[in-house]
Amino acid sequence: MDRLLGRPRLTDEQKRRVPPGQYLTAKWPVLHYGSVPRTDLSSWDFRVWGEVEQPLDLTWEQFRALPRTTVHCDIHCVTRWSKLDVDFEGVSVRTILDLVRPKPSARFALAHCEQGYTANLPLEALRDDDVLLADTYGGEPLEPDHGYPLRLMVPKRYFWKSAKWIRGLQLLDHDVPGFWERYGYHNEGDPWQEQRFAE
Ligand SMILES: Nc1nc2c(c(=O)[nH]1)N[C@H]1C(S)=C(S)[C@@H](COP(=O)(O)O)O[C@H]1N2
Ligand SMILES: [Mo]
């Protein structure tokens, strides 16, 4: 044990995977602003609009019929907990981008969620092959607390970018700060560079 923090020391393998200033947790904490939305799948849709050739509006059935993939990753919250080896399943954001065909002017994206939560990312970051629209965790539908029915997963960024209860993506030719980014969180949020807060 680390006598100062009362936390188990990390193995060498864990040290390689836990970014600076983070500690490991086995539990999966729940963190969000506001309340947990109740979702009716019959009226749910997922929209992609903005700087795209072919805007998209999918029902739940249409979303579920898209090609699926799995992602095995680690998650890092800016409040300093990290959780290793999580398994999500869903639809790669790349699959969605192939459908909508971003215009050359599309350089940024804003994730839109229930109750007005947003998170911004460069479009390039969304093209990463570990970026997922996740509806399944450990083989089960997401818990309501964790984003049921759908959340964004962006493992290379702090977890606030992984927007829960996502309902759409807006592609933009300029950057628009999201919910936490407007309140002083870093615009990029790379945990390996400890990009927690704006200067
Ligand atoms: N819609 C929405 N998504 C959100 C948030 C939020 O307040 N609303 N909080 C973010 C933050 S700050 C974190 S740390 C993670 C927490 O996800 P979890 O509750 O599944 O651990 O969700 C992110 N996604
Ligand atoms: Mo967070």
Is 151 among the domain residues? yes
97, part of any domain: yes
Can you tell me the distance from the alpha carbon of 34 to that of 44, in angstroms, rounded to the nearest whole number?
20
pLDDT for residue 5 is more than 80: no
Q: To test ligand 1's pocket by mutation, which of 160, 161, 165 has the most ligand atoms within 8 angstroms of CB?
A: 160
Helix (H) or strand (E) holding 126: helix 123-126
169 domain residue, yes or no: yes
Is residue 7 a part of any domain in this protein?
A: no
Does residue 34 form part of some domain?
Answer: no
47, 168 in Cβ contact below 8 A? Answer: yes
In a domain, 159, yes or no: yes
Give the tens place of pLDDT for each residue, 161-191. 999 999 999 999 999 999 999 999 999 999 9
Structural contact between residues 71 and 121, judged by C-beta atoms closer than 8 angstroms: no
Residue 80 lies in a domain: yes
Show the domain range for 159: 12-28+44-193
**pTM of this prediction?**
0.96
CATH code for the domain in which residue 165 is found: 3.90.420.10
Q: Where are the beta strands (DSSP E) in the chain?
A: 23-24, 45-50, 56-59, 69-76, 81-92, 108-113, 118-122, 132-137, 140-141, 151-153, 166-172
What tokens appear for 142 in the block? 């997401």
Neighbours of ion ligand 2 (CB under 5 A): 31, 77, 160
For the CA of 28, the closest atom of ligand 1 is 21
Atom of ligand 1 nearest to the CA of 30: 19
Asked if the structure places residue 198 within a domain, the reply is no
Is the distance from the beta carbon of residue 52 to the nearest atom of ligand 1 less than 6 Å?
no
pLDDT 10s digits, 65-98: 999 999 999 999 999 999 999 999 999 999 999 9
Number of domains in the chain: 1
